[in-house]
Amino acid sequence: MGAPLAGVTPIMAMTFFGFSLGKKLQQTHPQEKLRAHQVFIAGGLSGLCTAIIVVPAERIKCLLQAQANSAQKRFSGPVDCARQLFQEMGLRSLYRGTVLTLLRDIPATGVYFMSYELMKEKMTPHGGRVSDLSVARILLAGGVAGICNWIVAIPMDVLKSRFQTAPESRYRRVADVFREVLRDEGPRGLYKGFTAAMLRAFPANAACFLGFEVSMKFLNWLFPDG
């Protein structure tokens, strides 16, 4: 749990920063309402921004999780894992799986934010404001967004995890892991862990978006001219 716990705060901060930046780059004025495809683009930029933190954090997490099912313990914890990887091949080793992470996160994060904004819009009463949605509706919108995100992300997540935990010499290219999964397990192999991901997706992301909305309201109250 050390690696994800250490990474979750900066990752989520970068996620929402990237999304906010993506929106601002497309707006002509701060109150301009973006279309669905523009929200998707802003979310995709968010997925790109977070890669600098996500890739090494997930590389370490995946190696430690794989080690838990092995009799041989190579790493004593996340710090030791990062140290050994860096000593062996430098930053290249820590950032192994970058392409697959981007192929996962850019479209999945785009869908994540797009589905959240669409859900909020659909649940807003006629003549009401999105900012006045109840806690229950924010939780529902966030939970649905989490499910949509993982429906898109799971195939690439499976490939990424296998690529990041495999010995350096096992796969020469990203496509090699894709061919191996299809050969050995068929298309169903790309959705391994689907049930577990769905069970986590709704509550985790419902809480995430509620925390974000509450934080933004507090900051807007604290710094009304910010």
Both tokens of residue 75?
Answer: 């790493």
Question: What separation in angstroms does the CA of 226 have from each of 19, 206, 223?
Answer: 18, 27, 5
Q: How many Å apart are CA 162 and CA 158, to the nearest integer?
A: 6
Give the pLDDT of the chain (226 residues) as one tens digit per residue: 666 666 788 889 999 999 999 999 999 988 898 999 999 999 999 999 999 999 999 999 999 988 887 778 889 888 999 999 999 889 999 999 999 999 999 999 999 999 999 999 999 988 788 878 999 999 999 999 999 999 999 999 999 999 999 988 888 888 999 999 999 999 999 999 899 999 999 999 999 999 999 998 898 888 886 6
The class (CATH top level) of 2-222 is mainly alpha
Residue-level pLDDT at 89: 87
The whole-angstrom separation of Cα 56 and Cα 94 is 5
Q: What is the pTM of this model?
A: 0.90
pLDDT of residue 8: 81
Query: In the prediction, which pLDDT does 1 show?
Result: 65
3-state secondary structure 139-185: HHHHHHHHHHHHHHHHHHHHHHHHHHHCCCCCCCCHHHHHHHHHHHH
- Angle at Cα 59 formed by Cα 115 and Cα 6, nearest 5°? 75
How many other CB atoms are there within 10 angstroms of residue 13's CB atom?
A: 12
- pLDDT at site 4: 63
At residue 127, the 3 state secondary structure works out as coil
Q: Determine the pLDDT at residue 168.
A: 81
Domain ranges of the chain: 2-222
Give the C-alpha separation, 173 to 87, whole Å: 23
